Amino acid sequence: MRLFLLLAVSLSLAAQTPDCSLVPGWGQQGPARTYVADDLFEYMDGNAEGYLIYHFVKMQGVTCQLAGNTIVFDVSEMEDPEAAYGIFAANRDPRIATEKIGMASQIQPRRAVFCKDKYYVELAVNQEKDLSVPLRAFVTAMEKRISGRTALPEAISWFPTDKLVRDSIRLVPESVLGLRLLKRGYIAQYEYGKGFLVAESSPEAAAEVMTKLRARIGQTEPARIADDAFRATDRYLGRLAFFRKGRYIGGFANLAESQNATTLASGLAARIP
Amino acid sequence: MKSHVMPQSRGSWDKLQLVSGGIGKRSGQAESLSHLGAQAVAPETEALQSHSSRRDFLAAGLALPGLRSASVAGLAAEPALQYRTLGRTGLKVTTVGFGCMITSDPSVIQRAADLGINYFDTARVYGRGNNERMVGAVLKSRRKSVILSSKSQARSKQAALADLDASLRELGTDYLDVWCIHDRTRGEEITDELLEAQQIAKKDGKIRFAGVSTHRGQASVIPAALKCGKIDVVISGYNFAMDKDLDPVLESAHQAGLGLVAMKVMAGGFRNASYYPTTNELRSQLKREGALLAALKWAIRNPYIHSSIPSMVDMDQLDENLKAMASPFTEADQKILSARLEQIRPLYCRMCNRCEGTCPKGMPVPDVLRYLTYAEGYGQFALGREKFLELPSEVQKIRCDLCPSCSVSCSFGVKVAERLIRAQELLA
């Protein structure tokens, strides 16, 4: 039994381990790398914080080579699939469309990234060359090895799509809209402003946050949206409408003059189950 | 050394404009009043625009009740700003700058600039360019009244210059005030090729000053930056948990005219303690204790540190950090930091590789302590054990509890033998 468990754990770990032989012809250069939050800085000082903020757990990496070309191949385990999507969205190029490989992917001439389940996979070419073909091959093969969630976090589908900037929805790991009260949630960029959605642990906790938000924003006007709502104007958040629906707090901010904040926020609230 | 605490009363703000406009200049404070210093390229009218912008902001805060409570409540409406001269660059920088790396919402950067923070730091690698894009969009309208710094991790001249062009494009500017060779651990990593790239960029007017950033190689990188004579600014990891041996290095750098900017001044000093499950919880605990502010005050109390670039993700953090410029480092702050240091000291191996003494049996002490951190601190028992099992078998068999005394000690107070015995219990 114990042997079986060990074998199962080993196979499971192997599935998330980057492997140069995933694409025929490529071989590993040098030893494999493993980093945890405590020593990630040794690998990427100057950028480690950008991983830690998304609740980074562990990274395994190898460098692959073929005929003078090298690809750095790293697989980061994050705390959960939402965090994996979060770091993916923070690092993708918003000007380039994403593809549905895993939860989401982006393949460019010298760089490819994707997320699946709680894993964030990055491949980077060291030379000034277009290696999008092998990069795609690695992405496709690695995606098959990682089991688990391929659906995007559910909350993403709740944002209305009209005038939503393509691939703009991202997870903010701390302080949504620059407000500490809104601990972690999603931001969506629209042509006329930005929408947001934060999940609290319970309706009561969300109600408490709404009370604090009112105090923080100052002069607010009540609005009739979901369980509770208000509108206001703020120097930095512009014209805004915030609402609570159950344990969710959402709304719009920085809205253009032409937009009706209450209508937009109502539209978002209506899509939350 | 120019270091002043300037309460920005309305009256003094008016004086500031007067001085910036070149109508009058007083010694001391007057010199510190220009954000851009002697080598500033910004026309004075633009400096005035920046000041007007801030004044407008303050006025708006007074005029609009909603704004006052939303954005200024809990913060002195007119924060005290402290300026120092960034070494030979002559730039006048606020001692608290802004590290933009993990900032998600541009409003926080915008407000920091409104409140008078004038040093903003980003890097090519942050968010793969997304961070530079956000910072550029926020600061574009006041470009000439802020000091903008970015960095490249490139290792060749060609790649570095390509990175610089990408940074300028993403930031929406035609020059950087400070452009750094990013993340060097050893002096020899400041290569002639990269220095040449910086000189070319200077000649082309794409950068004003050349810099280098180092997180943990200060003792090697700072002297090398001095020696080469082509580096103007060093961005260096610096916090209260670090080795005091760094102070003479900083002093000599300051004396030689290097501009010194501190980073990792807060959580970085704690995070390696590893006993906190998430960044958020850690930050929250440290904030409750007042430790974050104390740590920032500790860093900028050193006159050789000209600015600092703490990360800021929200308005509360910004408000908190601004206080560091208004009040000096006190005994109460020292007490908070000492308590924190004492808490982590017996457990926290700094990986400085300067253990006193060596194990006659060949135990690689820092490595084993690190594996213990994996297992205990991060709950990564499998990884800790995996690493331990990679050690030579004769090392794995060593049992420290069989030794009458330990020949290895730690000047930082890590209880070496105790921790090694714990590692062997857990991992062997």
Note whether A37 contacts B: Cβ–Cβ < 8 A: yes
10 Å CB burial of residue B154 (0-12, 13-18, 19+) is buried
Are B412 and B310 members of one domain?
no
Tell me the domain boundaries of chain A: 2-145, 154-271
Q: What is the pLDDT of residues B128-187, one digit of tens each?
A: 899 999 999 999 999 999 999 999 999 999 999 999 999 999 999 999 999 999 988 889
Name the average pLDDT for chain A: 92
> For residue B18, what pLDDT is reported?
24
Query: Looking at the structure, do residues B369 and B329 belong to the same domain, yes or no?
Result: no
Give the distance from CA A129 to its chain's centroid: 28
CB A269 within 8 A of CB A226: yes
Q: Are residues B322 and B421 in the same domain?
A: no
Determine the pLDDT at residue A168: 94
In a domain, B164, yes or no: yes
Residues B61, A176: C-beta atoms closer than 8 Å: no
Q: Looking at residue A3, what is its pLDDT?
A: 54
Same domain, B302 and B422: no
Residue of A10, A12, A49, A181 to mutate, interface with B, max B Cβ within 10 Å: A49
Q: Which residues contact B416 (CB under 8 A, 6 or more apart)?
A: B355, B365, B369, B406, B408, B409, B410
Closest-CA residue of chain A to B126: A47
Structural domain contains residue B40:
no
Q: Residue B35 — pLDDT band, cuts 50, 70, 90? A: very low
Q: Are B75 and B2 in contact (CB under 8 A)?
A: no
Most A CBs within 10 A among B102, B181, B288, B374, hence the mutation to make, goes to B102
ipTM of the complex: 0.84
**Together in a domain, B118 and B246:** yes
Give percent of chain A with pLDDT exceeding 70. Answer: 94
Pairwise CB contact (< 8 Å): A94 & B130: yes
Polymer length of chain B: 428
Q: What is the pLDDT of residue B15?
A: 27
- Shared-domain flag, residues B161 and B274: yes
Q: Are residues B212 and B295 in the same domain?
A: yes
Q: Considering CB atoms only, which of B64, B108, B274 is closest to A38?
A: B274
Sorting pLDDT into bands at 50, 70 and 90, what band is B31?
very low
Domain that holds residue B392: 365-427
Q: CA-CA distances (angstroms) from residue B398 to A46, B373, B391, B423?
A: 37, 19, 11, 11
Q: What is the pLDDT of residues A30-55, one digit of tens each?
A: 999 998 887 787 787 677 888 988 98
Q: Nearest 5°: phi and psi at A19?
A: -145, 120
Predicted local confidence at residue A204, as pLDDT: 98
Contact A53 B69 (CB under 8 A): no
Do A41 and B216 lie within an 8 Å CB cutoff? yes
Give every CB contact of residue B14 below 8 A, 6+ residues apart in sequence. none
Whichever domain contains B323, its CATH number is 3.20.20.100
Assess if residue B408 is contained within a domain.
yes
Scanning A241-270 for CB atoms below 8 A from B yields none
Q: Calculate how close chain B gets to A184, using CA atoms only, in Å.
A: 10
Work out the average pLDDT over A178-197. Answer: 96
10 Å Cβ neighbour count for A144?
Answer: 13
Same domain, B322 and B243: yes
Domain annotation covers residue B70: no
Q: Are residues B321 and B178 in the same domain?
A: yes
Question: Residue B246's pLDDT is what?
Answer: 83
B327, part of any domain: yes
Sign of CA dihedral B240, B245, B251, B253: negative
Residue B33 forms part of a structural domain: no
B374 pLDDT band (50/70/90 cuts)? low
Residues of chain A with Cβ-Cβ distance to B383 below 8 Å are 34, 36, 58
Residues of B in contact with A172 (CB under 8 A): 104-105
B272-294 pLDDT, tens digit per residue, is 434 333 445 555 566 666 788 99
Instruction: Compare A4 and A38 and report the one with higher pLDDT.
Output: A38
Instruction: Determine, yes or no, domain membership for B353.
Output: no
Q: Best of B189, B286, B287, B314 to disrupt the A interface by mutation (most A CBs within 10 Å)?
A: B314
% chain B with pLDDT above 90: 46
Per-position b or e across A33-63, b if 16+ CB within 10 A of its CB: bbbbbbbbbeebbbbbbbbbbbbbbbbbbbb
Residue B396 and residue B271 share a domain: no
How many helices (H) and strands (E) chain B has is answered by: 19, 11
B320 lies in the same domain as B383: no
For residues B286 and B398, state if they share a domain: no
Instruction: Report yes or no on B137 lying in a domain.
Output: yes
Q: Which one of 3.40.1000.20, 3.30.310.50, 3.40.640.10, 3.40.50.150 gives the CATH number of domain A154-271?
A: 3.40.1000.20
Which pLDDT does position B72 carry in this prediction?
38
- Nearest chain B CA: its distance from A48 CA (Å): 10
Map residue B176 onto helix, strand or coil.
strand
Q: How many domains does chain B have?
A: 2
